[in-house]
């Protein structure tokens, strides 16, 4: 897979985001059996930049943790069904992740920064692959896939409210 990581906020570089992003995206693709995907672009930014993007693309003038822009519509036609895998060499799309929001959520949940960032990157990559949480059936599917991927990476269930950390706020 071709992953282009654009680091606008050097705190991400210092934190080691590049390796975490490669690991999170690779684990997501492997778990879903996606072979030889095309390009994925990751923008590692701060709250000011992600708030600007959030307002431009979603009409919400506030920072968020992760945003996703799929290169193609891949959602399943039935609620709770798995989306189709992308074709070989088909581009996946773009992600943006905010250092400030990610750090704040990690601190609130008592988590290491890169553990929470890994969860957000798995979550965002699933959005690029057609998963969403717009209804209960789709949300349950997406959550179960996220948990399985994170478990495979040796990370706890982020939706476990008994110590697993912050639950994604769904603002992606």
Please state whether beta strands 93-98 and 39-45 pair in parallel, antiparallel, or not at all (unpaired): parallel
Residues 6+ positions from 56 with CB-CB distance below 8 Å: none
CB 138 within 8 A of CB 78: no
Report the number of secondary-structure helices (H) and strands (E) in the chain: 6, 4
Instruction: Tell me: is residue 116 an annotated ligand-binding position.
Output: no
State CA 137 to chain mean position distance.
19
In degrees to the nearest 10, what's the CA dihedral of 3, 144, 87, 153?
A: 40
Instruction: Tell me: is residue 31 an annotated ligand-binding position.
Output: no
Determine the Cα–Cα distance for residues 45 and 17; give it in Å rounded to an integer.
11
Query: Residues forming the annotated binding site?
Result: 123, 127, 133
Residue numbers in the known binding site for Zn(2+) are 123, 127, 133
């Amino acid at each position: 897979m071709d992953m282009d990581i654009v680091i606008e906020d050097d705190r991400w570089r210092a934190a080691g985001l590049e390796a975490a992003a490669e690991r999170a995206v690779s684990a997501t693709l492997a778990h879903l059996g996606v072979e030889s995907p095309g390009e994925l672009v990751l923008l590692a930014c701060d709250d000011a930049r992600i708030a600007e993007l959030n307002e431009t693309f979603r009409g919400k003038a506030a920072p968020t943790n992760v945003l996703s822009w799929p290169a193609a519509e891949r959602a399943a036609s039935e609620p709770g069904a798995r989306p189709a895998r992308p074709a070989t060499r088909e581009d996946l799309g773009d992600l943006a992740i905010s250092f400030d929001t990610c750090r704040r959520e990690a601190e609130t949940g008592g988590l290491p920064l890169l553990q929470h960032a890994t969860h957000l990157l798995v979550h965002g990559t699933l959005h690029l692959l057609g998963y969403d949480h717009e209804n209960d059936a789709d949300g349950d599917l997406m959550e179960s896939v996220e948990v399985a991927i994170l478990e495979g990476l040796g990370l706890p269930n982020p939706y476990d409210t008994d110590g697993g950390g912050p639950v994604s706020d769904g603002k992606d």
